[in-house]
Amino acid sequence: MADLSVEFSGIRLKNPLMVGAGPNTMNFQTSLDCMKAGFGAIVIRSLHTTHLDDHKESSRGFWRIYSANKNYKKSLYSFQSTGAPAQRVHKNVPPGFGGAAVMPTLEEYTEEVYKITRAAKDYDCRVIASTGWCGARLSDEEVWAAEAKAMTEAGVDAIELHTGPSPATEPGRFITVDPHKYLEMPIKVSKQASNLPIFPKIPADCCDTIGMSAFAQKAGADGVVPVTRWISIPVDIENEKEPVWRGPGIGGPWSAPIMTGFVFRMRHADQPINYVGGGPVGGFPDSPPVTVPIIASGGVRSGADVIGYIMAGADAAQTCVQVILEGVGAGGRILKEMSDWMDRKGYQRVSDFQGTLKLVGNKDVLSIPQWQPVIDDSLCNGCNICVKSCYNHAMSLVDNKARVDDSYCEGCRTCYYVCPTNAISLKG
């Protein structure tokens, strides 16, 4: 049976799947549920102490599913919220979404985190705290240091810096505008206050994620977590405005291929990844590749997503929205999918396939085997949809049945997907 354990920054995880910071880890009980579900690590809901004596009513949060289809399982979906300040890891915060709650002090929060770290020992689950800013209110040195110290005393295994604000807000771009103040300072101050691994979360929205990850590495980060949520504006066209205020942060499966690309480009920042006209284009010779651990975050909903991230060069991957929607059982399912794939491929350890992804060069493209459409005449009703959708003009109708001209077909599979009668199958 495949060994899913991974080790980085001096931490051993029984598997590389983490629950990302968010509602799934908002208090002791929900965190315990995640540990029981078998995740290798959990990142606790972010602590947002702007001032150390902060203890006030939080604002109301907004939460909604955003999907093209009522059944999210069948379409790309996401989960939006503006609710980060409303919910904190604290015993007084009731489970569930929305609603205002009293924001706990750092001491109260630390007490709850301590309970979580004690329980984690029974489940061989690592616990990562998430400290830092929220929204437009930025933490200062004193706050970063106090939170790092408190979380270390609470027994966590590592600290994720919430340098990418959640809900996603404009301050994300401050990181690029002034990385010394908004990235280097939090890293250095947290490292001075704690001997634990420090992982800044690097936003993608409003931020040069790849460049800032290299910057964080240079500033002493022990690893990076790209990314947090993205600002989104889903417009309600009946009311002609955004349905909820403040450009809610959005996560979800749509982001996995984009972020997998980011992870790959971080690991290969000095190399071109595009070949145009047979020659290499791109690559930033002055941008060092990210060599510290990468904990990917964005769109993980299957074992394939985690495997893809790891093949692209990540050390572990987080999932958040999927667990909100599917429940903690998503953990066991994703891990089984990973382990089945490893068994099928003959991989014994995660390191066997970590960072092995290679891009196809232009000269190799033509030798890649292509899909070929095969028409079942008994199912083809001559609707012409495949003909219209084939931008290579490889499809035509002959005697009211679809026909493929192999010399034009490049195996894009569009005809297969658009055929309403399933008359087209694919030969590999």
Ligand X SMILES: Cc1cc2nc3c(=O)[nH]c(=O)nc-3n(C[C@H](O)[C@H](O)[C@H](O)COP(=O)(O)O)c2cc1C
Using CB under 6 A, list all residues that contact ligand X.
20-23, 45-46, 79, 81, 84, 130, 162, 166, 201, 228-229, 251-252, 255, 297-300, 319-322
Provide the minimum distance between the beta carbon of 297 and ligand X in the complex, in angstroms, as a whole number.
4
127/419 with CB nearer ligand X: 127
311/325 with CB nearer ligand X: 325
166/169 with CB nearer ligand X: 166
Backbone CA torsion sign across 264, 270, 276, 278: negative
41/320 with CB nearer ligand X: 320
**Residue at shortest CB range from ligand X:** 251
Provide the minimum distance between the beta carbon of 242 and ligand X in the complex, in angstroms, as a whole number.
17
What gap in Å lies between CA 266 and CA 254, rounded to an integer? 20
331/411 with CB nearer ligand X: 331
Provide the minimum distance between the beta carbon of 301 and ligand X in the complex, in angstroms, as a whole number.
8
133/264 with CB nearer ligand X: 133
Provide the minimum distance between the beta carbon of 104 and ligand X in the complex, in angstroms, as a whole number.
14
Provide the minimum distance between the beta carbon of 404 and ligand X in the complex, in angstroms, as a whole number.
38
234/288 with CB nearer ligand X: 234
162/191 with CB nearer ligand X: 162
Provide the minimum distance between the beta carbon of 48 and ligand X in the complex, in angstroms, as a whole number.
8
37/390 with CB nearer ligand X: 37
For the chain, give the secondary structure using H, E and C.
CCECCEEECCEEECCCEEECCCHHHCCHHHHHHHHHCCCCEEECCCCCCCCCCCCCECCCCCEEEEECCCCHHHCCEEEEECCHHHCCCCCCCCCCCCCCCECCCHHHHHHHHHHHHHHHHHHCCEEEEEECCECCECCCHHHHHHHHHHHHHCCCCEEEECCCCCCCCHHHHHHHHCHHHHHHHHHHHHHHHCCCCEEEEECCCCCCHHHHHHHHHHCCCCCEEECCCEECCCCECCCCECCCCCCCEEECCCHHHHHHHHHHHHHCCCCCCEEECCEEECCCCCCCCCCCCEEEECCCCCHHHHHHHHHHCCCEEEECHHHHHHCCHHHHHHHHHHHHHHHHHCCCEHHHCCCCCCCCCHHHHCCCCCCEEEECCCCCCCCCHHHHHCCCCCEEEECCEEEECCCCCCCCCHHHHHCCCCCEEEEC
- Residues present in the chain in total: 428
Burial class of residue 306 in the structure, from the number of CB atoms within 10 Å of its CB (0-12 exposed, 13-18 middle, 19+ buried): buried
46/302 with CB nearer ligand X: 46
> Amino acid letter at 305?
D
Provide the minimum distance between the beta carbon of 79 and ligand X in the complex, in angstroms, as a whole number.
4
Provide the minimum distance between the beta carbon of 93 and ligand X in the complex, in angstroms, as a whole number.
12
Provide the minimum distance between the beta carbon of 311 and ligand X in the complex, in angstroms, as a whole number.
18
β-bridge mates for residue 65, sequence order = 79
Provide the minimum distance between the beta carbon of 363 and ligand X in the complex, in angstroms, as a whole number.
36
